[in-house]
């Protein structure tokens, strides 16, 4: 909610008309003798300073993410002038000023200055419509300087516009980058936010530097979180064909499979980053997802783009070591995964089959990398089990709607009314996989691999136990994670895994 401005403080924006000869606005603190050591006027930058993001970069990402074919039109606007591009992005996408990742430490400082009667100016090269929305949200600023009327107010142009508002009053400038060197040079004091080291040294040597605010942006910890390494456990599914085919301890096979897991993990992380970049605004509206690195501003979009490119390149190079066929399969996986993130996840039922196909591609990768023959029973078991898990995930989402009083899942095509059918089909799919497993355990292929195949029969009961437990947890709204990630963190999984290994050992 926007804070109310103090009565008596004039509010001005660059571009508004002034009578000829009218002097600049007189800051409230002008009655106090100017003191360059403690200026009563503070000029504050927006992108990367007051907010931990860049509004133009966000707007362009959203714009091109909706349709990459818009790129030529965006380039044409840029050729007319950067201010025209900024205005087009502002008009099309606006800004959710109440959800931006604000620099809270800086806001507290500005609030203290406001309380003592200082004159605060928001000065930015961002579009004036967006800057005004931020100023209205915070209610701290007495004037706004921003790009408008085809003029990109950056550097010297920004300084000129600031002087038109404050005159020759000494001022404190709060910024983050050398692009505002003109303002730093003209300012009597400065506060830096996540500055480059060279700028910090220069201002410190000049005696202007009053404070450095570190937000921890682009830290190694936040960047690692951006990769979602906990999701890499899903790629262990690549080992399943080798486990079933008794080839896991063949070194050449294991080496190829480990490379395959690395390639899939790198590719998956690259896709996750692209997905997060496109979903920044939606994530900020989510109670949990708003803490993701991009949504929270912990990692900036340019850094995320560079990391995603490096991951994608690493995935391609690693896949090439496995073989050209595997590389083609990895590219197919990345394409389907990207399509799922951008479009298919919002389509009824299509999302389920797409999600399952991504897991089936992991199994296919295990077969291909390890040169292991395909088994109809093996693939059918996993198809039905994975479909059951996908339905379970959607069921748990719709089940949660009941406790929140909502009717639909945001970004999905499912309604609270779909809960019963999702449960019925999902549970049936898992039980069908148990039947398939039972039939497979009696097949000739298993008899060729095991001396005592009947001792494998309890494995079907183990799978049924896991399936039933998952559905009961979901029915109680206690399944908050992705089902597969839940299994990876559930102690029962490891106990049952040890029991299953014992039966396999006895059957060998």
Q: Count CB-CB contacts under 10 A for residue 154.
A: 17
pLDDT of the residue at 346: 84
More confident call, 28 vs 360: 360
Percentage of the chain with pLDDT > 90? 51
For range 365-375, the mean pLDDT: 90
Query: In this structure, are residues 299 and 53 in contact, taking their beta carbons and an 8 Å threshold?
Result: no
Range with the largest mean pLDDT of 4-8, 195-199, 277-281, 454-458: 195-199
Q: Count CB-CB contacts under 10 A for residue 254.
A: 15
Q: From edge to edge, which strands make up the β-sheet containing 172-175?
A: 12-13, 143-147, 119-127, 41-44, 172-175, 189-193, 209-213
Query: In this structure, are residues 178 and 37 in contact, taking their beta carbons and an 8 Å threshold?
Result: no
pLDDT of the residue at 26: 56
Q: Please, what CATH class does the domain formed by 12-213 belong to? A: alpha beta
Sign of CA dihedral 301, 306, 311, 316: positive
Look at residue 7 and give its three-state secondary structure: coil
pTM above 0.75, yes or no: yes
Query: In this structure, are residues 310 and 266 in contact, taking their beta carbons and an 8 Å threshold?
Result: no
More confident call, 287 vs 171: 171
Cα of 449 vs its chain's centroid, Å: 45
For range 156-164, the mean pLDDT: 93
304, two tokens: 């995320």
Could you tell me which of 24, 4, 13 has the C-alpha nearest to residue 123?
Answer: 13
pLDDT of the residue at 34: 64
More confident call, 505 vs 238: 238
pLDDT (tens digit per residue) in 310-343: 999 999 999 999 999 999 999 999 999 988 887 8
Q: Which class for 453: exposed (0-12), middle (13-18), buried (19 or more C-beta within 10 A)?
A: middle
CA distances 130 to 94, 123, 396, Å, are 7, 12, 38
pLDDT of the residue at 21: 38
Cα angle, residue 31 at apex, residues 14 and 16 outer, rounded to 5°: 15
Residue 15 has pLDDT above 50, yes or no: no
Distance CA 25, CA 43 (A): 14
Residue 17 has pLDDT above 60, yes or no: no
**Residue 174: which pLDDT band, with cuts at 50, 70 and 90?**
very high
Instruction: Tell the residue number behind the tokens 């997905």, with chain if given.
Output: 275
Residue 118 has pLDDT above 60, yes or no: yes
Topology adopted by domain 218-373 = Tetracycline Repressor; domain 2 (1.10.357)
Residue 49 has pLDDT above 90, yes or no: yes
Q: Where are the alpha helices (DSSP H) in 345-457?
A: 350-370, 376-404, 419-441, 444-449
Distance CA 22, CA 350 (A): 64
């Amino acid at each position: 909610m926007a804070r109310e401005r103090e009565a008596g403080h004039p509010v001005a924006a660059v571009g508004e008309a002034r009578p000829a000869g009218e002097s600049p606005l007189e800051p409230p603190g002008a009655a106090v003798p100017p003191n360059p050591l403690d200026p009563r006027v503070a000029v504050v930058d927006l992108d990367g300073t007051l907010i931990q993001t860049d509004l133009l970069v966000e707007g362009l990402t959203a714009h091109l993410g909706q349709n990459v074919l818009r790129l030529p039109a965006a380039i044409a606007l840029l050729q007319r002038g950067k201010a025209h591009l900024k205005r087009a992005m502002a008009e099309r996408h606006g800004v959710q000023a109440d959800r931006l990742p604000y620099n809270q430490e800086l806001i507290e400082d500005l609030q203290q200055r406001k309380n003592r009667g200082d004159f605060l100016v928001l000065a930015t090269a961002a579009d004036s419509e967006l800057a005004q929305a931020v100023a209205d949200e915070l209610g701290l600023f007495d004037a706004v300087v921003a790009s408008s009327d085809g003029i990109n107010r950056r550097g010297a142009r920004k300084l000129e516009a600031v002087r038109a508002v404050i005159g020759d009053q000494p001022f404190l400038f709060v910024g983050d980058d050398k692009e505002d060197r003109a303002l730093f040079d003209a300012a009597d004091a400065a506060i830096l936010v996540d500055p480059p080291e060279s700028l910090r040294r220069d201002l410190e040597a000049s005696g202007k530097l009053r404070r450095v605010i570190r937000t921890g942006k682009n830290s190694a910890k936040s960047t690692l979180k951006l990769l979602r390494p906990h999701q890499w456990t899903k790629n262990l599914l690549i080992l399943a064909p080798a486990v079933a085919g008794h080839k896991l301890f063949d070194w050449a096979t294991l080496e190829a499979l480990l490379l395959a897991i690395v390639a899939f993990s790198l590719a998956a992380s690259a896709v996750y980053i692209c997905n997060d970049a496109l979903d920044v605004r939606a994530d900020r509206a989510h109670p949990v997802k708003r803490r993701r690195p991009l949504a929270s501003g912990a990692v900036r979009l340019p850094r995320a783009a560079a990391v995603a490119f490096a991951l994608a390149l690493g995935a391609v190079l690693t896949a090439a070591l496995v073989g050209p066929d595997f590389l083609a399969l990895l590219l197919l996986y990345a394409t389907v995964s990207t399509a799922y993130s951008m479009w298919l996840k919002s389509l009824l039922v299509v999302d389920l089959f797409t999600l399952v196909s991504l897991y089936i591609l992991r199994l296919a990768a295990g077969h291909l990398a390890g040169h292991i023959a395909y088994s109809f029973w093996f693939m059918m078991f996993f198809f039905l089990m994975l479909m059951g898990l996908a339905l379970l995930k959607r069921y748990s989402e719709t089940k949660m709607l009941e406790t929140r009083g909502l009717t639909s899942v945001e970004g999905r095509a499912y309604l609270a009314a779909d809960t019963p059918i999702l449960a019925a089909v999902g549970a049936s799919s898992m039980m069908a996989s148990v039947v398939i497993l039972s039939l497979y355990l009696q097949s000739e292929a298993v008899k060729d691999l095991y001396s005592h195949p009947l001792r494998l029969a309890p494995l079907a009961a183990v799978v049924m136990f896991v399936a039933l437990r998952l559905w009961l947890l979901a029915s109680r709204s206690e399944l908050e994670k992705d089902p597969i990630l839940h299994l990876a963190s559930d102690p029962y999984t490891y106990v049952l895994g040890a029991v299953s290994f014992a039966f396999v050992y006895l059957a060998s």
